[in-house]
Each structure stands twice: as C-alpha cells, then as structure tokens.
Structure 1
Amino acid sequence: SVLCDAQVYLVVFSSSGKMAEFCSDNTTLSSMLEQYQRHTGNKIWEAKHESLDAEIERIKKENDSLQIELRRLRGEDIAPLSPFELIPLEETLQRGLTSVREKEMEFLRKLKKRGKSFEDENKKLNLFLEQNEFPKNVDMRELDQEYQQKEKDYSVQMPFSFCGQPIQRSLEESK
C-alpha cells in the first residue's frame, strides 16, 4: 500500500474464529465500504439496514426536540417564542405543578395519619403505665434500702466461696 499509494483494508479470520484486521493509514472500514459501493454499484447494506439508519435519524431528531422542550421547561431559550408557543408550555408546567401539589398533599395526609397513630399509641402506653405504676405514696429510698438489706442477707447465707481447680497441668509443671 505504501509503494502504490493504495488503500487496503484486510480482515482475516483464523480457524479458531479469531479476527485480525489491518488497514492502511487514513482508512476506515466505513469509508472503504462506501467507496466499494460507489465503484461497483452493489449495495452492501440491505433494505432493513437502511430502515435502521432511518430509524436512528428519526430517534436523533426526536431526542433533539425533547432536549429543546426540556430546556424550555427549565426556562431556558424561551425569549424567541411567541405567546402562542408559550401557552402549551404554560399548560404543561401547570399540570406538573398540580401533580406535585397533589403528591405533597398525599404525603402530608399520610404524615398526619402516622402522627395520629403515634399519639394514640402514646396515650395507650401512658394509660398502661398509670395502671401498672407503683403506688405514689411509696418512697423509692425505702425500696432501695429493702433491696440492699436483702442482698446483705443473701451474702450471709453463703459464707464461703467456690474456687475452681484447673483441669490441665500448667506448662511449667511439665518441665
């Protein structure tokens, strides 16, 4: 390719199915295929591939229009719009605002319901506590002194302590 200034694109498949390719400088596969198609008149791409190309173009255009609409919804690029073009934009924003407010109100309703349920649970627990509470005339110091006395009485009942004996001999004894 260097000596005769030819454009070469070579693709080789080994017996194991591994592909190797070589192309001359400034050459791409797509440019080589286009050049082949122009010179031979043979269409390389089938009709379904051409329809895929048209589909790609359609999706690109749709994406571009959605990007423009998104910028306009953000308040960007709206200066050149006429009042008639602003009306649908305003309606879209109004619908979005209404939807957000509805979701916010639903969230607040759930939050209030949850708060009410917590209040009810708190009332039930307070009532339970009042019903099962110590009598108010009992002095806590007296209860503590009674506990301390019982603890002392218990220690008197067990005058000796248990000492565990090791089961295995220590390493120093085995030397």
Structure 2
Amino acid sequence: MARGQIQIKRIENQTNRQVTYSKRRNGLFKKAQELTVLCDAKVSIIMISSTQKLHEYISPSSTIKQLFDQYQMAVGVDLWRSQYEKMQLQLNKLKDVNRNLKWEIRRRIGESVNDMGYDETVNLIEEIHNSLQVIRERKYKVINNQIETGKKKLRNVEDIHRSLLLEFDIERQDDPHYALVENEGDYNSVIGFTNGGQQIVALRLPTNHHPYLPSGEGSGRRATFDLLD
C-alpha cells in the first residue's frame, strides 16, 4: 500500500511541530555532510527554530566568513557595506555626543565661556546653582546618616555600661571577695566600668590579702582610681 502524500502546511500541534523539525533538521544536516564528503562541496546551513534556537552546519574545512566571502565574490555583491555604513553613522552620532559633553564640562568648570552670550551665561549659572543644591542635599543626608550611626554606637556603649554595672553589682552580692581597691597587686579577677566619666576597676583579692572591711560589710578594700587610656 503506497504512502499518501503529506500536505505541506504548518503543523498546529506544538509537540508534533518540534519533533518534525528535529527529525528533518537531522536529515538535512546528514545530506549536507554527505555532499561535503562525496562531492568536496562547501556547505553551510543556518536554521532557527520557532523557539528561537539556532542550529547550523558548516563544512569542516570552511568557516562562516569564508563562505560569505566566496558568496560575495560569486554574485558580485558586498553584504557588509550596508552594515558598515550603519555602524559608521552610529559612530559619528556618538562622537557628536562626546564632543558636546566635553564642551559642557569645560563650561561648567569655567573654561570656554568667552563666546557665551548673556542668556547662555544666566542659564549656566542657574544650572550650576541647581547642581549645587542637589549636592548640598546629598551632603546633609550623608552627615545625618553619620550622626544617626554615631548615636546608635553611643546607645550600644551605654547598654554595655549598664550591663557592666549590673554585673558588678551582682558579683558583689554573690561573692563578698569583690570590692573596689586602690593598690596594685596580684588579683584573681577584674571587672571594669565607668562611673560619671571616671573609670573604675573592681578586682577580686586573693585569700591571703586582709583588706580593710568598712562598716563591717564585705571583705574587700573600697577605693577608686582612674585608668590611663
């Protein structure tokens, strides 16, 4: 039974369309490879699927550029001229933009102003004034951020200070060997804190020390001394 002729039209089912594309693409590339080997031909095929995927076959002994150069020589056309002209126009536009920007920069720093009229000078002054206003606002914002950051750091230091004072009070209540001393010596442990701008250190005395016991409370010598920075 002979196979029926397939009507050539777009396949509506997307899955079937992709399967057909893949099979026929492989078949086409296989034929191109056979032509390259059997006939010593230079073959190039570029295919883009409906999903924008690029597939290409190029004879192993050739490159895309070589094939395009040979095509131009064969048909007598220049495929790159129009693209080159477009790129040249774009380059000239960019050069003009760059030239104008340099001219504006020179004027804003006080150069190339001799050829300016009154209206241009007034406009330039206004533009510079507006720019300075924006810069000042940015400066004030940065300063405010730095102040807020400093306040946060100060609050953290104050929290640490309160924590140290609380820890010191707890240690004095739990262990009567902790007190404030004024003489140097060998101490078992140290607690430091700040009191009204004065730095104070609490040291735990060893058992062989016999500190003065004020009012019959505690077992440490009570005194304060400043610490050197």
Relative to structure 1, the CA distance from residue 122 to residue 86 in structure 2 (aligned partners, 3 Å threshold; closer, same or farther) is same
Runs of 4+ aligned residues of structure 1 deviating over 4 Å after TM superposition are 42-45, 137-145
Aligned residue type for 1:129? L
Q: Number of residues paired by the alignment?
A: 114
Are residue 117 (structure 1) and residue 152 (structure 2) matched? Answer: yes
Residues 9-24 of structure 1 aligned to structure 2 (within 5 Å)? none
Q: In 2, distance between residues paired with 1:141 and 1:62?
A: 77
Aligned to 1:47: 82
Q: CA deviation at 1:49?
A: 2.4
Aligned to 1:102: 137
Deviation at 1:43, TM superposition (A): 8.2
Q: Give yes or no for the alignment of 1:93 onto 2:111.
A: no
Aligned equivalent of 2:4: none
In 1, Cα distance between the equivalents of 2:181 and 2:87? Answer: 89
Q: What corresponds to 2:23 in structure 1? A: none
Residue 146 of structure 1: aligned partner: 206
For residue 112 of structure 1, report the CA deviation from its aligned partner: 0.9
TM-score, structure 2 length as denominator? Answer: 0.41
Cα deviations by residue, 1:70-95 (Å, 9 ceiling, x for unpaired) = 11111111122111112232222122
> Does residue 69 of structure 1 match 2:73?
no
Distance 1:85 1:148 in 2: 90
Q: Show the counterpart of 2:93.
A: 58
- TM-score, length-scaled by structure 1: 0.52
Task: Tell me how far apart the structure 2 counterparts of residues 53 and 119 of structure 1 sit (CA, whole Å).
Answer: 61
Task: From the superposition, tell whether residues 69 and 140 of structure 1 become closer, same or farther in structure 2 (CA, over 3 Å).
Answer: same
Which blocks of at least 5 consecutive residues in structure 1 are unaligned?
Answer: 1-14, 18-41, 150-175
Compared CA separation, residues 73 and 147, structure 1 to 2 (3 A): farther
Residue 132 of structure 1 corresponds to 167
Distance 2:116 2:165 in 1: 70
- In structure 2, stretches of 5+ residues that fail to align are 1-60, 64-75, 169-177, 189-204, 210-229
> Per-residue deviation at 1:140?
6.8
The residue type equivalent to 1:82 in the other structure is G
Counterpart CA distance in 1 for 2:112 and 2:208 is: 82
Query: Which residue of the partner structure matches residue 117 of structure 2?
Result: 82
Higher relative contact order (CA 8 A, sep 6+): 2
* Counterpart amino acid of residue 125 in structure 1: I
Q: Which residue of structure 1 lines up, in the alignment, with residue 193 of structure 2?
A: none
Closer/same/farther in 2, CA of residues 54 and 148 from structure 1, 3 Å limit: farther
Percentage of identical aligned residues: 19
Aligned-partner residue type, residue 68 of structure 1? W
